[in-house]
């Protein structure tokens, strides 16, 4: 029997209540205000009923829960903001009480006097895992799909429903900090080894195992509520603590550069909370959580890395009037590194794929790339041998274009050369059906130009994958001047099928992501020429929040490829298209020094054989007279990197290359790791304020050059006090979630 919208509530002959969470019209259970209200009511019902001896809490879906619905949190803050203008102190109290709602409900459950057991049958994240930790017993199904984590730090917040207090009271503080500051996922074996769950059960026996814990006399008291409780890692003020806490602070500083307030708050919550009783520890956590939720980092990261990411993944840019495409077979032409990666992710999605190359040996080598990935996956326990064999059976190497006659989509991934792509387009179109969509995987060549080689330009589109394809989650879909809505819809349906995040951009040289990346590397070249020490350049970029220094990134891209791009730009656009100083530097590296990047073991870095690590090329600092490092402002270097990228993102909005700020923000983060704590390149400007950003640009322009000149769009926005999310409102008349 059930009296609830989101749960079923049944009691068996032993007096054990089975609460099954199964939200209607949702693919995954999430916490909403209604869910919390129903859970609160069920807790009261359990306490009041003498015939109920205990509770097993599980999910009716294949996953357990993804945690809290963060749109609920942003809605709460919209309410609090209105109060802030009238009564700031009252508004802070509202926020404090709101963020404590889950905390004290969970505390109510664990002190209700009756045992609760969480039966975890699938993905269990965030607030759902915190609820499980508040239960007196925890059983997880022995299945690959079962993952447990507190990943909140990845979206700018932290486990604020008791996670920072319960985890370090169940396992040692070092493992607790590692888990929460990285958001790492745990499988059942690891979770049990850490003491975070009690048992692992066969999936079919999960609920029965949970019930058996109650029948066997599970105490309805948590360890930390018993007299004499001691945390597994020992007291904070102990020999172990003296070794852990200074090191933990230093490691966190090294890994985050102080850019992520939520990660710092985790350390503070655990450090302070372990010194006091659990109730006071929960209050400490609540205080830090209320503060973190109001930071610009949390606001921007929640919007870009949760809300916007979900919206784009669900097809926010898909044409409404085109029916979903049921993809049956895909063709990939070009079995090199990129084509092989595309074939792998396509087959992994369960789609048959024909992998074409000029010679069978090359096509089979392309399939071997997938074979190697499958082998590694099986060895690491990430996939089964049977699943791997099924994936490989979907890839058919071939040299015959006629094998493309029944595909729904062809992805061309041949060498970045117009003539080669022209020949492939003509050869493919001689065999594919009229309705087939043709996509070129190109990183720089304009799609409209390539589409001139096609007899059906309306079916021609760009799909730019990032390397390595199996790891990079972003794809850039490029619209040519004549690309139809049908082609766009099919491309988006395909990207959804392979479970990557799409951004849709209009045609231009370098599209969106590469334009921003080139600005990042170009500013590093400027610094080298100025005489900024190379190590300082790399470290400043990392301190600004970039995952890879610009010189290291240049090596990964390949310095000789950068030279080709420069020369192609000069050939098409004239000498002024490339900074002569940059051209001279790159020509010196490639043609004089023979340093092509990682691919030949020497670029801006040297790449010795393992186990030795890569290091900056010692002679790099001799190419230009060096400045005194003590006279260089590290803050200014950091600003130069972030501003030059943000400016390019703003230019693409002004030019209409990108039309949706969500795509610019998500694209810069997923495409090349633009300082995630900012929420993306446009959010970086919005959070600073257009007026302050333009003022910063003017200061940098006076000192370093015209690359920092703010476009007219930004100047106008500064004058009007606008943000990108206001001026280019992706929600139309709806209220922007911020």
Catalytic residue set: 464
- Which three-class secondary structure state does DSSP give residue 430? coil
Contact 709, 651 (CB under 8 A): no
Which token pair is 148?
């447990």
- In angstroms, the CA 589 to CA 572 distance is 23
Beta bridge partner(s), residue 59? 21
Closest CA relative to residue 650, chosen from 715, 699, 696: 715
Phi/psi of residue 375, nearest 5 degrees: -60, -45
User: Can you give the C-alpha Rg of the chain in angstroms?
Assistant: 28
- In angstroms, the CA 633 to CA 722 distance is 30
Contact 309, 666 (CB under 8 A): yes
**Within 13 A of 241's CA, how many CA atoms are on the CB side?**
14
Cis ω before 468 (30° cut-off from 0) = yes
- In angstroms, the CA 473 to CA 575 distance is 35
Q: Give me the torsion for CA of 163, 169, 171, 172, rounded to 10°.
A: 110
Per DSSP, 531 falls in state T
Contact 253, 227 (CB under 8 A): no
Per DSSP, 122 falls in state S
Nearest 5°: the CA angle 163, 167, 170 is: 150
- In angstroms, the CA 370 to CA 676 distance is 31
Residues with Cβ within 8 Å of residue 436, at least 6 apart in sequence:
404, 407, 408, 409, 410, 459
- In angstroms, the CA 543 to CA 254 distance is 9
The bridge status of strand 437-440 relative to strand 353-356 is unpaired
Which token pair is 112?
């209700």
Closest CA relative to residue 595, chosen from 559, 551, 620, 562: 559
- In angstroms, the CA 375 to CA 377 distance is 5
- Which three-class secondary structure state does DSSP give residue 625? coil
- Which three-class secondary structure state does DSSP give residue 464? strand
| CA terminus-to-terminus distance, the chain | 40
In b/e form, how buried is each residue of 685-711, taking b as 16+ CB within 10 angstroms? bbbbebbebbebbeebeeebeebbebb
| C-alpha 204, offset from chain centre | 33
Closest CA relative to residue 727, chosen from 680, 660, 664, 678: 660
């Amino acid at each position: 029997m059930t009296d609830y919208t989101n749960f079923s509530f049944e009691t068996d002959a032993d007096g054990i209540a089975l609460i099954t969470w199964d939200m209607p019209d949702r693919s995954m259970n999430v916490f909403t205000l209604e869910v919390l209200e129903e859970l609160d009511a069920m807790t009261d019902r359990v306490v009041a009923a003498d015939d109920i001896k205990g509770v097993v809490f599980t999910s009716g879906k294949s996953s357990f829960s993804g945690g809290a619905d963060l749109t609920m949190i942003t809605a709460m803050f919209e309410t609090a903001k209105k109060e802030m203008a009238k009564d700031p102190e009252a508004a802070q109290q509202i926020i404090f009480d709101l963020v404590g709602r889950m905390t004290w409900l969970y505390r109510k459950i664990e002190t209700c006097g009756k045992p609760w057991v969480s039966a975890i049958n699938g993905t269990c994240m965030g607030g759902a895992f915190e609820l499980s930790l508040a239960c007196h017993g925890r059983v997880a199904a022995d299945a690959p799909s079962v993952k447990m984590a507190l990943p909140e730090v990845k979206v700018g917040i932290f486990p604020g429903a008791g996670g920072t207090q319960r985890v370090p009271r169940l396992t040692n503080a070092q493992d607790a900090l590692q888990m929460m500051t990285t958001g790492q996922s745990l499988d059942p074996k690891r979770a049990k080894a850490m003491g975070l769950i009690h048992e692992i059960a066969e999936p079919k026996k999960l609920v029965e195992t949970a019930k058996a814990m109650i029948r066997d006399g599970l105490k309805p008291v948590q360890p930390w509520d018993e007299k004499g409780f001691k945390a597994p890692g020992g007291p904070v003020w102990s020999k172990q603590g003296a070794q852990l806490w200074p090191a933990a602070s230093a490691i966190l500083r090294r890994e985050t550069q102080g850019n992520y307030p939520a990660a710092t708050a985790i350390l503070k919550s655990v450090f302070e909370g372990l010194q006091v009783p659990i109730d006071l520890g929960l209050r400490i956590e609540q205080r830090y959580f209320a503060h973190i939720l109001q930071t610009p980092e949390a606001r921007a990261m929640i919007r870009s890395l949760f809300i916007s990411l979900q919206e784009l993944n669900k097809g926010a840019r898909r044409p409404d009037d085109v029916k979903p495409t049921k993809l049956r077979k895909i063709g990939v032409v070009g079995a090199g590194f990129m084509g092989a990666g595309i074939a792998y992710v396509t087959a992994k999605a369960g789609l048959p794929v024909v992998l074409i190359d000029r010679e069978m040996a090359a096509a089979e080598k392309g399939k071997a790339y997938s074979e190697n990935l499958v082998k590694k996956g099986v060895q690491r326990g990430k996939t089964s041998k049977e699943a791997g064999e099924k994936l490989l059976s979907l890839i058919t190497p071939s040299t015959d274009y006629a094998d493309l006659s029944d595909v729904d989509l062809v992805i061309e991934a041949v060498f970045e050369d117009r003539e080669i792509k022209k020949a492939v387009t003509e050869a493919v179109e001689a065999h594919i059906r009229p309705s087939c969509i043709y996509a070129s995987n190109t990183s720089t060549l304009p799609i409209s130009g390539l589409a001139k080689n096609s007899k059906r330009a309306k079916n021609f589109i760009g799909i730019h994958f990032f390397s390595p394809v199996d790891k990079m989650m972003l794809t850039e879909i490029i619209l040519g001047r004549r690309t139809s809505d049908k082609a766009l819809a099919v491309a988006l349906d395909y990207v959804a099928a392979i479970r990557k995040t799409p951004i849709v951009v209009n045609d231009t040289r370098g599209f969106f992501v590469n334009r921003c990346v080139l600005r990042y590397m170009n500013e590093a070249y400027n610094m080298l020429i100025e005489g900024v020490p190379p190590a300082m350049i790399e470290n400043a970029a990392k301190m600004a929040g970039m995952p890879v220094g610009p010189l290291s990134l240049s090596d990964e891209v390949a310095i000789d490829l950068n030279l080709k791009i420069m020369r192609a730009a000069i050939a098409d656009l004239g000498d002024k298209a490339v900074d002569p100083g940059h051209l001279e530097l790159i020509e010196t590296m490639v043609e004089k020094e023979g340093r092509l990047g990682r691919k030949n073991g020497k670029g801006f870095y040297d790449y010795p054989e393992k186990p030795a690590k890569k290091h900056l090329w010692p002679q790099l600092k001799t190419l230009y007279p060096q400045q005194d490092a003590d006279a260089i402002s590290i803050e200014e270097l950091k600003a130069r990197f972030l501003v030059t990228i943000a400016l390019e993102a703003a230019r693409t909005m002004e030019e209409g290359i990108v039309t949706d700020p969500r795509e610019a923000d998500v694209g810069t983060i997923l495409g090349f790791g633009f300082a995630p704590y900012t929420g993306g390149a446009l959010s970086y400007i919005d959070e600073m304020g257009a007026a302050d950003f333009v003022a910063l640009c003017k200061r940098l322009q006076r000192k370093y050059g015209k690359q920092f000149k703010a476009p007219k769009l930004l100047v106008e926005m500064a004058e009007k006090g606008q943000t990108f999310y206001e001026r280019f409102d992706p929600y139309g008349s709806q209220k922007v979630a911020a």
